[in-house]
Amino acid sequence: MTPADEIRTASERLRELAAAAADNSGSSNWHATRHFPDQPDSTFTTLWATGVRPLLGGGGRGRVPYVHAPVGDYAAAMDPTVGLALADWLDFEASLIQRVPGAELRGRTEHALAIARALNAQP
């Protein structure tokens, strides 16, 4: 498998997981709400599909909270390892824009900007 094939395979997998999670949750935009925002060390949050419903269900006495399988599969695929790799790629693209005049007009940098803007739009 060539490096390009590896990238395409990963891209296809991520796209399939994201589409399944969005379909299952009812929204492709998710956010987290902190229950105690005045306590920065608090870990109590709710994960929401924007405008739809909480993504974490169940719980309570003797019941473990859950997410639906497509949502959990996508969340697991987008673990911190993926987030750190995306951050490294975004740093690389930012440095490319600074070093190469007009680089922000090139295809891959446009994609990096789209990812950055989606991340920066999160509350």
CA gyration radius, the chain = 18
Q: Are residues 60 and 1 in the same domain?
A: yes
Q: Are 85 and 91 in contact (CB under 8 A)?
A: no
Query: Domain of 47?
Result: 1-65
85 shares a domain with 57? no
Measure the CA–CA gap between 63 and 44, rounded to whole angstroms: 17
pLDDT digits (tens, 9 = 90+) for 17-42: 999 999 988 888 888 877 777 877 77
Residue with tokens 């803007």: 117
Task: Give the chain's domain count.
Answer: 2
Is there a domain that residue 16 lies in?
yes
Beta strands in the chain (DSSP E): 30-34, 45-49, 53-54, 57-58, 65-66
Rounded distance between C-alpha atoms, residue 67 and residue 75, angstroms: 10
Helix and strand totals (H; E) in the chain: 4, 5
Residue-wise burial string across 14-38, b where 16 or more C-beta atoms lie within 10 A, e elsewhere: eeebeebbbebbebeebeeeeeeee
Please check whether residues 85 and 58 belong to one and the same domain: no
| pLDDT of 86 over the 70 cut | yes
Domain match, 4 and 50 both: yes
What's the whole-model pTM score? 0.73
**2-13 pLDDT, tens digit each:** 777 787 888 899
